[in-house]
Amino acid sequence: MRHPTCDLLPNTRTMKIGVLALQGAFREHIEMLRGMNVNAIEVRLPEQLRDIDGLIIPGGESTTIGKIATQYGLIEPIREMAAQGKPIWGTCAGMIVLAKDVGMKQPLVGVMDVKVKRNAFGRQVDSFETDLEIPEIKNGDATPFHAIFIRAPLLESVGKNVQVLAKLDNGAIVAARQDNLLVTSFHPELTHDARFHNYFLRMAKDDD
C-alpha cells in the first residue's frame, strides 16, 4: 500500500528496477515497487544487472551481503553500474555496502564518499521509529516521513559532493545522495509510504 497522498511517477510500467536478493529485506522492496506498477526483479547474478534502470541494495547483514556478492561476481559489475551513472540506493546494510569507509575491513562496493558507523544505535532491542522532515521527497506532500531504524548505521561524515537529505534531532545524518547514489539508514520498504521509492524512481527517470 502506497502513501495515500503520494503523487506517483507516471509510466512506471516501462521501468525495470533490480533489488539485490542475496540476503535481507529484499522482498519488501519488491512488493513496494510492484505496488507502484514497477517491473521489479530479484538480482542474484551479474547478467541481471545489464538492462535495469536502477538497483536497490536492501537492509540485512552487510558482511554477509558483501561476501555473497563477491562469490557471485557482483561487486565489480555494481561498481561499473555506479560509474555509468545508473541509480543505486542502499538501505541500512545497503548504505554500508555502498560506503567507501566503514571503519573495518569487509567486502564493499565502496563507491560513495561517506564514512559509516555500523550499528550506531545499538542492538536489535534498541531499534526505534521517528518522524523526519525530508524536503526532497515531499513532492507536494508535507507530511513527515515515518522512519523505521533497525540496528541502523549512520553517516559519520560525508564528502563535499554529498547532499545530506535527513538528520535526526541530534544532528546524526541518516540519509544522503551523491549524484546517482542514494543511501538511507532506515527502512522505507517497511512503511506504507512510497515517497522514498518514488524519489528513487525519479532518479532513474532522470537518467534516461
Band of residue 206 on the pLDDT scale cut at 50, 70, 90: confident
Q: Are 79 and 49 in contact (CB under 8 A)?
A: no
pLDDT digits (tens, 9 = 90+) for 55-85: 999 999 999 999 999 999 999 999 999 999 9
pLDDT digits (tens, 9 = 90+) for 14-31: 789 999 999 988 999 999
pLDDT of residue 204: 92
Which helix or strand (DSSP H or E) is residue 175 part of?
strand 173-178
Band of residue 5 on the pLDDT scale cut at 50, 70, 90: very low
The answer to whether 92 is a known catalytic residue is yes
Extended beta strands in 23-168, E state: 39-43, 54-57, 88-91, 99-101, 112-117, 128-132, 145-149, 154-158, 163-167
State the angle between helix axes of 75-83 and 62-71 in degrees (0 to 180), rounded to the nearest 10.
100
Q: Are 38 and 17 in contact (CB under 8 A)?
A: yes
Return the C-alpha cell found at 12.
512506471
Identify the structural domains of the chain with CATH numbers, from first to last.
12-206 (3.40.50.880)
Query: DSSP assignment, residue 82?
Result: H
Residues ≥6 apart with Cβ < 8 Å to 13: 37, 38, 39
Residue whose C-alpha cell is 531499534: 127
Selecting among 3, 6, 28, 187, the annotated active-site residue is 187
Selecting among 28, 29, 189, 197, the annotated active-site residue is 189
pLDDT of residue 10: 54
Residue 1 predicted with pLDDT over 80 = no
User: Structure pTM?
Assistant: 0.92
Residue whose C-alpha cell is 561524515: 157
> What are the percentages of helix, strand and coil residues in the chain, rounded to 5?
30, 25, 40
pLDDT of residue 2: 44
Selecting among 76, 92, 129, 133, the annotated active-site residue is 92
Tally of CA atoms within 13 A in the half-sphere of 22 that contains its CB? 28
pLDDT of residue 141: 85
Band of residue 4 on the pLDDT scale cut at 50, 70, 90: very low
Percent of the chain with pLDDT over 70: 89
The better pLDDT of the pair 40, 123 is held by 40
Band of residue 120 on the pLDDT scale cut at 50, 70, 90: low
The answer to whether 187 is a known catalytic residue is yes
pLDDT digits (tens, 9 = 90+) for 149-195: 998 999 999 999 999 999 999 999 999 999 999 999 999 999 999 99
The average confidence (pLDDT) of the chain is 90
Residue-wise burial string across 103-120, b where 16 or more C-beta atoms lie within 10 A, e elsewhere: eeebbbbbbbbbbbbbeb
Band of residue 144 on the pLDDT scale cut at 50, 70, 90: very high
The answer to whether 6 is a known catalytic residue is no
